[in-house]
Structure 1
Amino acid sequence: MTSQPQQQLPPDDSPAACPAPLGEPPALLSVGVEEEFLLVDPVSRSVRPEGPQVAAAAAGELGQRVGTELTRYQLEGRTDPHTHLGEALTELRSVRAALARAAARRGLRIVSSGSPITGLVAPVPLTPGPRYAESLSLFRALDDEQSACACHVHVGVADPREAIEVSNHLRPWLPTLTALAANSPYWDGRDTGYASWRTTTWGRWPVAGPPPYFESPAHFQELVDELILTRTVLDQGGLYWDVRPSHHLPTVEVRVADAALTPEDTTLLAAVIRALVATALKAIRAGERAPRPAPAILRAASWRAARDGLAGHSLDPLTHRLIPAAAQVERMLRALSPALRHSGDLDLVRTQWERLRVQGSGADRQRAAYRHRSSLHDVVDHVIAATCPSQAPPVGKPGAPDGQARRR
């Protein structure tokens, strides 16, 4: 990280963006995305427990690209791996549209928000299955918060040792990704005061948040084995760290982000994460060790990012200073500009980041929808339209000012 914030990405012909070629350029890393969605009734705007039914209806069109989640309020859409993010954006739109059609056949809408805006019932209705029943037995009321929705980005890294080292290198940037992707200001009818309340709820789990610094693959495996042996997690799939080597794919899985409001928001996140992984791999292969921010400071930085999002300040885990969140994002993007240029994503990231600077994060846009008439119905309607523009407008009366949401 540099000591002074930068205000924009470097031009294409700047030295930072155009490093001298050193041999053959590395191949582009593949990217796959998993997006979690909530189902809502377009009249009441409350979440509805019909995820398994909608997933089954969409499976005829999407096959393995749709699945269920722990709660019946949710379902998941998945993309194939892509090396060109224009193709990924096209598939993200297509998957969302297919899920929206399946939901509409049951009179429902899909929403891409990190948290339920209104209508949450606790305890939540769980999807049937032995794993989910075992989760409830072990984690109890923590499962009530599993109705939060995330966006998971998989980047192809086949070497397990490199995957663990990539995790180490990404740790200092995880709070910045949290701020960039913040899209869960509301929880069950109230404004939480946080830009990413999902991040805060996940922080209550025994194995969540920024991962430890791993000294070696053996250190990683020893810790995982101990967590499973002590029944702290069910299995390796229960490691809810913000970044982890995937337990079933040859990828690094970055799990830090809220479900993104629009497909364009998701594509920006995927481009940035791929560039982070590519930059980390370059450093690893050059023999550079990852920075080691103090765990307490990294946790504090994650909390600050969840609270403020892009609208406030970020705590830099390496300098221990508060700086404007937008300036911290720009520091990250400058550091990533060589990788972004190599992948062909520099213009995409510039364009989408400038849009976010003007419009705000997903959390900012949700709150802007609320301020229009102090109506949570307006927030839900805005998220419905942003999630998939092809979704029909709500069939009920427009949301009247309801005064339900309040800030701390």
Structure 2
Amino acid sequence: MAGTAQHAHITRFIDPVPPTAGIEEEFFLVDPHTRRVAPDAAEVVRRAGTWSGGSISTEFTKYQVETRTDPFSDVDDLATEVARMRDIAATAATEAGLRVTATGTPVQGDIVPPPIADIPRYRETTAMFRTLQDGQSISACHVHVHMPDPELAVLVSNHLRPWLPVLLSMNGNSPYWAGRDTGYASWRTLSWSGWPVAGPPPYYESRDHFDELVGTLVAGGALMDRRSIFWDVRPSAHLPTIEVRVADVAATAFEGPLFAALVRALVTLAAQAVRHGDRGPRTAPELLRAASWRAARDGLEGKGIDTRTGKLRDAGQLVESLLAEVRPILTVWGEWDRVTGWWQRLRSIGSGAARQRAAYAERGHLDDVVDCLIEQNRPGSLHKGRTVVHSG
């Protein structure tokens, strides 16, 4: 973590125009009558058609669709685009007789084994990782921040590592798994934990160290290729970006941009620290793993492990520490008020996991959880620039 005393010096070199950032979000499709996941992603994508900017596609299982925004510098523009993409996905799903739910895991349905999309790469993945695939009905939010320098990207990852549990605690939105309350805020995180290359990334000495490590993992059969690196932070294999993948898909449209704004600020602060000779703290992997587990279990409403001290603190206090870390960057960019407003809104309504459990607590029905998720992303008016391909 870049020290607070360094901020005044580092922020003098910050570009007043933020780097671009984009968001990928994955959603589950459900039948509005049974409230169970429905394997009709291809039909929803077909109906979505094309529009100005962004894209929508199928995902690993036939229950899921993924939206991807274009990259934006202005966080308000990014937030508008996230809402637009969600509206497109929800509208296309409704036209197909389905609904979109933004949750990290399916609340109800027969999901083991999941119906995997018939794509050659997915077939290869299944052959390689076998029954691990049974737990992959999961939906995440990925943030890409523009960073064309691969050496810088891997060293920035070192600085992001200690903050990953805090970011995870803010974004826990998968308490239910196929009809059962798991006891976790982010069961999606635990579903990933069995994979050979997942969770907090290692500490890198250099880009060469990263390349050597990944090459060893590929040669040893733990990775198919660089695209199958599932660490919580990774240099993108096909874009000039650094990608942060630690979050569940957010329950509502403002939470993804909040996550993206914090990630982009952390990335920028870290990049400046690297340029000034700081390769990042050597936080012990055992501590990071424990802190990530605790964040996945407790979420925003519980306690988390402070990776600087190893002690438990209220998760909200850890978020406040993160905000204090990036405040100089957000102030330079004119985003401080927007981001803290989103944060206060999140604190007032509770995490996605807490909202799912509150919906269940009213009557003790999981159908109510699904209905709540549907309501949070109900389609609005059609957006200019969209072309829907209708059947018949």
Calculate the TM-score normalised by the size of structure 2.
0.93
Identity across matched positions, percent: 49
| Mean Cα deviation higher: 95-104 or 188-197 | 95-104
**3-state secondary structure, aligned to 1:288:** coil
The C-alpha deviation readout for 1:207-257, integer Å capped at 9, x for no partner, is 000000011111100111111122211111100000000000010000000
Match of 1:316 in 2: 306
Structure 1 position 145 matched with structure 2 position 135: yes
**117-126 vs 256-265, which deviates more?**
117-126
Q: Which residue number in structure 2 is paired with residue 326 of structure 1?
A: 316
- Which digits, 9 at most, give the CA deviation of each residue in 1:274-326, with x for residues without a partner? 11101101111111230111111110000000000011111012211011100
Structure 2 counterpart SS, 1:284 = helix
* Maintained 8 Å contact 1:314/1:323: yes
Q: Which residue is 1:400 aligned to?
A: none
Residue 170, structure 1, aligned to residue 160, structure 2 = yes
Q: What residue is the counterpart of 1:224 in the other structure?
A: 214
- Runs (4+) of structure 1 moved beyond 4 Å? 15-21
Q: Tell me if the contact between 2:2 and 2:270 (Cα under 8 Å) persists in the aligned partners.
A: no
Are residues 24 and 230 of structure 1, via their aligned partners in 2, closer, same or farther at CA, if it must alter by over 3 Å? closer
**Contact 1:112/1:261 (<8 A) preserved:** yes
Distance 1:64 1:323 in 2: 39
Q: d(CA) in 1 for partners of 2:367 and 2:373?
A: 10
Contact 1:16 1:338 in 2 (8 A): no
Are 1:87 and 2:71 matched, yes or no?
A: no
Give the distance between the partners of 1:330 and 1:88, measured in 2 at CA.
23
Displacement of 1:61 in angstroms is 3.5
Question: Where does 1:8-157 land on structure 2 (aligned, <5 Å)?
Answer: 22=12, 25=15, 27-61=17-51, 65-157=55-147
Partner of 2:173: 183
CA contact (8 A) 1:61 1:98 kept: no
Report what 2:387 is aligned to.
none
Name the CA shift for 1:73/1:38 in 2 (closer, same or farther; >3 Å).
Answer: same
* CA pair 343-381 structure 1, distance change in 2 beyond 3 A: same
1:292 aligns with 2:282: yes
The residue that corresponds to 1:360 in the other structure is 350
Tell me, in whole angstroms, the C-alpha distance in 1 between the residues paired with 2:12 and 2:221.
48
Report the counterpart of residue 364 of structure 2 in structure 1.
374
**Which of 51-60 and 239-248 deviates more?**
51-60
Q: TM-score, normalised by structure 1?
A: 0.89
Q: 1:23 to 1:195 in 2, by over 3 A?
A: closer
Q: 2:22, 2:71 within 8 Å by CA — same for their partners in 1?
A: yes
Counterpart position of 1:12: none
- Whole-Å Cα distance in 1 between the matches of residues 176 and 185 of structure 2? 8
Corresponding residue for 1:279? Answer: 269
More displaced, 381-390 or 298-307?
381-390
Q: State the shift of 1:56 in Å.
A: 2.0
Q: CA deviation at 1:158?
A: 1.0
User: Structure 2 CA distance, aligned partners of 1:172 and 1:356?
Assistant: 22
Q: Which runs of 5+ in 1 are unaligned?
A: 4-14, 392-408
Distance in structure 2 (CA, Å) of the matches to 1:217 and 1:128: 35
C-alpha contact (below 8 Å) 1:40/1:111 kept by paired residues: yes
Which AA in structure 2 matches 1:109?
Answer: R
After superposition, the CA RMSD in angstroms is: 2.1
| 1:22, distance to aligned residue in structure 2 (A) | 3.1
Counterparts of 1:124 and 1:283, CA distance in 2: 43
Q: Distance in 2 between matches of 1:20 and 1:60?
A: 42
Q: Judge conservation of contact 1:93–1:388 (CA < 8 Å) in 2.
A: no
**Amino acid across the alignment from 1:37:** F
Conserved in 2, the CA contact under 8 Å of 1:169 and 1:280? yes
